[in-house]
């Protein structure tokens, strides 16, 4: 972003950089680094107890001394426009990624966590959807997790779902070709990238499905472990609940075991998982398109 008397970040311009700055600062990359330092040095360390999370700070330093604020703004006030814009936009992005978490916590508590997170983690990517991968760790260590221990897993699922949403759909092995292949049982299956296996100690899928309902005053029952398979097929993402044995077998298959090896290993832990259950599981695998081929 070039800062000059002609630049207009967003829809408004709060400041410009004098044309008399040194040749080093006139270099675009150097200007951006100096400007980022002015903004971020007073955003990092922001906690949830500030005035609604508004980031403010002094306007000192050689770079700030050459800023020409717009209108009647002071240099500090002009920089605060950008500081606050940075915080607000990242809060919006976290809200887009963690909809169910926001729904559970409500505006005040959710954005309190967002401001705390932003104060500890810079955005390093030009793609805003890359921001927030460490949010689950902060949520899991927060005071809210004491009452709702499922929150960290819910956040992990939402991040994984976001990644799956942006993942390109992989090529699917034809169900007929796969089912009739002579090496099907002893060759490792190759799973596509647009596929997610997710385990939680809590029923987070029920909460995630309720995220667009009007009120979170009564959460769905989140007690009990859950095993999920999610995949992209066509333009849609499908999420299916699995039993523990099916999840274990799919995890072994994705890890490189052949069908024979996975079933043999699972039979020790799940002796009741019989031929009918295995047939149903592999019919589901063929229908879902999660397998892209065989590693022959």
Q: Are 203 and 223 in contact (CB under 8 A)?
A: yes
**CA-closest candidate to residue 57, choices 82, 33, 32:** 82
How far apart (Å, rounded) are the C-alpha atoms in residues 154 and 98?
A: 9
Rounded to an integer, what distance in angstroms lies between the CA atom of residue 215 and that of residue 55? Answer: 30
- pLDDT (tens digit, 9 = 90+) per residue, 153-190? 999 999 999 999 999 999 999 989 998 999 999 999 99
Give the pair of three-digit tokens for residue 66. Answer: 């050459």
- Residue 205 tokens read as 């899928």
pLDDT surpassing 80 at residue 289? yes
The domain segmentation of the chain, as residue ranges, is: 15-138, 167-294
Nearest to 121 by CA among 104, 129, 133, 109: 133
Q: Which of 196, 113, 213 is nearest to 160 (CA)?
A: 196
Q: What is the DSSP string of 182-228?
A: TTTTTSPEEE-SSEEEEEEEE-HHHHHHTTTSS--SSPPP-EEEEEE
The model's pTM: 0.82
List, for residues 251-276, the tens digit of each pLDDT value.
999 999 999 999 999 999 999 999 99
pLDDT class for 62, splitting at 50, 70, 90? low
CB 55 within 8 A of CB 89: no
Mean pLDDT, the chain, whole residue set: 85
pLDDT at 45 (0 to 100): 60
Q: What is the pLDDT of residue 51?
A: 39
Predicted local confidence at residue 14, as pLDDT: 63
Query: How far is it, in rounded angstroms, from Cα 101 to Cα 53?
Result: 19
Residue 257, both tokens: 């075991």
Residue 19 has pLDDT above 80, yes or no: no
CATH 3.90.930 fits 167-294, yes or no: yes
Let me know: does 293 contact 190? Beta carbons within 8 Å.
Answer: yes
In this prediction, residue 73 carries a pLDDT of 78
């Amino acid at each position: 972003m070039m800062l000059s008397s002609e630049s207009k970040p967003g829809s408004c311009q709060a400041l410009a950089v004098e044309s008399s700055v040194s040749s080093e600062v006139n270099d675009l990359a150097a200007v951006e680094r100096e400007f980022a330092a002015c903004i971020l040095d007073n955003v990092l360390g922001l906690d949830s107890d500030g005035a609604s999370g508004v980031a403010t700070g002094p306007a000192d330093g050689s770079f700030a001394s050459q800023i020409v604020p717009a209108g009647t703004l002071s240099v500090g006030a002009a920089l605060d426009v950008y500081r606050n814009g940075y915080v607000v936009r990242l809060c919006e992005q976290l809200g887009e990624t963690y909809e169910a978490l926001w729904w559970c916590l409500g505006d005040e508590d959710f954005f309190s966590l967002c401001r705390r997170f932003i104060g500890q983690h810079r955005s390093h990517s030009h793609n805003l959807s890359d921001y927030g991968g460490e949010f689950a760790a902060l949520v899991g260590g927060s005071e809210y997790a004491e009452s709702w221990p499922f929150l960290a897993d819910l956040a992990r699922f939402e991040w994984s779902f976001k990644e799956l949403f942006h993942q390109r759909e992989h090529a699917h092995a034809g169900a007929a070709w796969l089912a009739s292949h002579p090496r099907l049982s002893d060759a490792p299956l190759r799973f596509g990238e647009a596929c997610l296996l997710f385990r939680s100690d809590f029923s987070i899928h029920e909460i995630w499905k309720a995220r667009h309902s009007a009120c979170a005053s009564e959460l769905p029952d989140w007690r009990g472990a859950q095993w999920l398979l999610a995949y992209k097929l066509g333009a849609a993402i499908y999420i299916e609940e699995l039993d523990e044995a099916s999840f274990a077998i799919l995890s072994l298959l994705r890890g490189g075991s052949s069908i024979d090896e996975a079933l043999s290993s699972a039979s020790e832990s799940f002796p009741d998982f019989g031929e009918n259950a295995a047939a149903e599981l592999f019919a589901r695998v063929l229908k879902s398109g999660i397998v892209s081929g065989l590693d022959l």
